[in-house]
């Protein structure tokens, strides 16, 4: 089996925090692939020489006609001969994954997580090597979409992904004076919200299944071990038993539903509407990456509500020292369609979005550009222990990815197995939580065996 570099190899986030005052290096070259796939370095053309029409695929349905249009207008001030069109999709992962086989997936697109590392070169234009790009981008984030040192995707920003968006006003009305740090404290807080307010304590957004994947973002931090995902979990049997990070994280979801502390019918939820309800105080909290904070704050502003009432707290699991550990990982990465007929224009727009548009700041995310400041919207996390998964040891490179794909659990895409937890807790399946986890373990164990059988061949 060909080994693959795991996409979350992002060691050294704390080092990145210290780079805020560093100068930004300039890069005056663009990289493209030759006919044999080799890297070709050429001088970047002058902006007025870049022309053509490009289509940008995006998951940001909420800003496609507003902020994204503004970014394109700003881009055109420098590149007047490029026409930018956007195509937004609600089921982004599913729709784009289907279109990959047709070659029709825009010019610039957010890279879906369904493309295996070994197939990056089949779908994506190479953007340069890590050594070539690390002068202007924080190196730890260049490993997100790379293969054998060649970078195929640049993160649009970095999220704190083990957290919960919450409405401060609702929490105050419920009498919650300290944020919960353990699953037990979280259940008690949700019960206070149910007893003392009219708000839905926790909104699962089960109908929009991709929201289930947000819970997976909490697993690595819950382990309090940056080597857990890439070197331990990918090799261990029974990864979903009591005491293991995956079991404990998803049990918070199960208990919340089973205790009647979520929406009345989690199978008829609606993502866009849930953001409005949270902004207005009809929903107390939702498990989401930090990327969602700015979206809900913006809605609050539009409703005449102080956006600072919408805040973000760590997922309520502490390590042995009692510290809340917070995980971080990149948001979608920008990539260029290897079939694009306007690659120079596509690369110019990609670089603009990452380096000049301000998208990361607007989205409440951490920028990967050296010299960009840490966002003030995440200041409440300054006393937390941040954790980013360390790259796998050479013998395990790509193994978590391989085992996860073999298991078909779909933990990063919002799968039927994650929805199964809600169905069991809601009473739609004759299964206990441990029954669900037993099924997950069977699939994971079989996948570990299958992958290891061929791993060193």
Q: Which residue, among 456, 363, 451, 361, has the nearest Cα to 408 in the 3D structure?
A: 451
Structure tokens at 2: 């060909």
Q: What is the largest CA-CA distance in the chain?
A: 66
Q: What is the pLDDT of residues 432-445, one digit of tens each?
A: 999 999 999 999 99
- Residue range 288-306: mean pLDDT, rounded: 92
Q: Distance between CA 334 and CA 313 in Å, rounded? A: 28
Query: How high is the pLDDT of residue 327?
Result: 80
Which parts of 64-182 fold into alpha helices (H)? 67-78, 92-99, 120-123, 130-133, 168-174
Q: Distance between CA 387 and CA 413 in Å, rounded? A: 22
Query: How high is the pLDDT of residue 36?
Result: 37
Q: Report the Cα–Cα distance between both ends of the chain, in Å, rounded.
A: 6
Angular region, 408: left φ>0, alpha ψ -120 to 50, beta rest = left
Q: Give, in order, the Cα–Cα distances in Å from 329 to each of 26, 158, 216, 255, 362.
A: 25, 6, 12, 26, 17
Give residue 426's pLDDT band: very low, low, confident or very high (50, 70, 90): very high
- Residue range 176-191: mean pLDDT, rounded: 95
Q: State the residue for tokens 């391989």.
A: 402
Per the CB < 8 A criterion, the answer to whether 306 and 167 are in contact is no
Q: Distance between CA 140 and CA 313 in Å, rounded? A: 24
User: How many CB atoms within 10 Å of residue 27?
Assistant: 16
Query: How high is the pLDDT of residue 387?
Result: 76
Query: How high is the pLDDT of residue 10?
Result: 30
pTM, two decimals, is 0.66
Give residue 256's pLDDT band: very low, low, confident or very high (50, 70, 90): very high
Model confidence at 25: pLDDT above 80: no
Look over the chain and give the mean of its residue pLDDT values, rounded to a whole number.
87
- Residue range 383-394: mean pLDDT, rounded: 74
Domains and CATH numbers, the chain: 1-7+158-329+386-457 (3.40.190.10), 21-157+331-372 (3.40.190.10)
User: How many CB atoms within 10 Å of residue 83?
Assistant: 15
- Residue range 3-16: mean pLDDT, rounded: 30
Report CA torsion sign: 421, 422, 423, 424.
Answer: positive
Q: What is the pLDDT of residues 49-66, one digit of tens each?
A: 999 999 999 999 999 999
Q: Which residue, among 317, 263, 432, 396, has the nearest Cα to 273 in the 3D structure?
A: 263
- Residue range 150-163: mean pLDDT, rounded: 89
**How many residues would you count in the chain?**
457
Beta-bridged to residue 155, according to DSSP, are 333
Query: How high is the pLDDT of residue 41?
Result: 40
Q: Which long-range contacts (CB under 8 A, 24 or more apart) does 126-131 make?
A: 126/31, 126/32, 126/33, 126/37, 126/39, 126/150, 126/151, 126/152, 127/31, 127/151, 127/152, 127/153, 127/154, 127/336, 127/347, 127/350, 128/29, 128/31, 128/39, 129/31, 129/39
Q: What is the pLDDT of residues 103-151, one digit of tens each?
A: 999 999 999 988 988 899 999 999 999 999 999 998 878 988 999 899 9
Q: What is the pLDDT of residues 193-210, one digit of tens each?
A: 999 999 999 999 999 988
Give residue 294's pLDDT band: very low, low, confident or very high (50, 70, 90): confident
Report CA torsion sign: 73, 79, 85, 87.
Answer: negative
Query: How high is the pLDDT of residue 361?
Result: 85
Model confidence at 379: pLDDT above 80: no
Kindly state the percentage of the chain with pLDDT values over 90: 70
Give residue 365's pLDDT band: very low, low, confident or very high (50, 70, 90): confident
Query: How high is the pLDDT of residue 457?
Result: 64
Residue 294: in which H helix or E strand, if any? helix 291-302
Per the CB < 8 A criterion, the answer to whether 383 and 216 are in contact is no
Highest mean pLDDT among 41-45, 119-123, 310-314, 391-395: 119-123
Least confident of 39-43, 229-233, 354-358: 39-43
Per the CB < 8 A criterion, the answer to whether 141 and 333 are in contact is no
Per the CB < 8 A criterion, the answer to whether 262 and 141 are in contact is no
Per the CB < 8 A criterion, the answer to whether 290 and 163 are in contact is yes
């Amino acid at each position: 089996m060909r080994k693959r570099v795991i996409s979350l190899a992002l060691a050294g986030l704390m080092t990145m925090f210290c780079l805020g005052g560093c100068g930004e290096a300039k890069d005056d070259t663009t990289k493209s692939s030759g006919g044999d796939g080799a890297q070709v370095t050429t001088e970047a053309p002058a902006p007025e020489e870049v022309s053509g029409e490009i289509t940008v695929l995006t998951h940001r349905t909420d800003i496609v006609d507003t902020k994204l249009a503004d970014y394109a207008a700003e881009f055109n001030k420098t590149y007047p001969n490029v026409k930018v069109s956007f195509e937004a999709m609600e089921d982004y992962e599913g729709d784009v994954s289907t279109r990959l086989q047709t070659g029709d997936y825009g010019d610039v697109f957010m890279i879906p997580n369904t493309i295996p590392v070994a197939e990056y070169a089949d779908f994506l234009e190479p953007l340069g090597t890590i050594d070539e790009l690390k002068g202007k981008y924080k190196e730890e984030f260049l490993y997100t979409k790379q293969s054998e040192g060649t970078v195929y995707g640049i993160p649009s920003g970095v999220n704190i992904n083990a957290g919960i968006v919450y409405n401060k006003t609702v929490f105050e009305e419920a009498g919650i004076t300290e944020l919960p740090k353990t699953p037990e404290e979280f259940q008690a807080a949700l019960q206070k919200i149910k007893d003392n307010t009219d708000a839905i304590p926790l909104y699962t957004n089960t109908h929009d299944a991709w929201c289930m994947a947000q819970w997976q973002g909490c697993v690595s931090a819950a382990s309090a071990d940056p080597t857990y995902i890439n070197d331990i979990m990918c090799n261990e049997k029974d990864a979903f038993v009591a005491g293991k990070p995956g079991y404990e994280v998803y049990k918070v979801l199960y208990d919340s539903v089973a205790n009647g502390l979520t929406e009345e019918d989690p199978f008829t939820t609606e993502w866009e509407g849930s953001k409005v309800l949270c902004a207005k105080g009809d929903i107390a909290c939702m498990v989401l990456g930090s990327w969602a904070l700015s979206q809900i704050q913006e809605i609050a502003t539009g409703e005449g509500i102080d956006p600072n009432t919408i805040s973000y707290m760590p997922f309520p699991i502490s390590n042995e020292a009692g510290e809340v550990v917070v995980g971080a990982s990149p948001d979608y990465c920008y990539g260029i369609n290897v079939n694009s007929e306007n690659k120079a224009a596509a690369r110019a727009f990609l670089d603009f979005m990452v380096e000049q548009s301000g998208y990361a700041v607007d989205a409440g995310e951490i920028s990967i550009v050296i010299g960009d400041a840490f966002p003030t919207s995440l200041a409440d996390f300054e006393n937390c222990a941040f954790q980013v998964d360390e790259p796998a040891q050479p013998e395990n490179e790509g193994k978590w990815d391989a085992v996860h794909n073999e298991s078909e659990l779909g933990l990063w895409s919002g799968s039927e197995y994650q929805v199964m937890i809600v169905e069991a807790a809601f009473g739609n399946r004759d299964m206990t939580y441990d029954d669900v986890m037993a099924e997950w373990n069977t699939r994971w164990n079989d996948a570990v065996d299958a992958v290891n059988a061929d791993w060193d061949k």
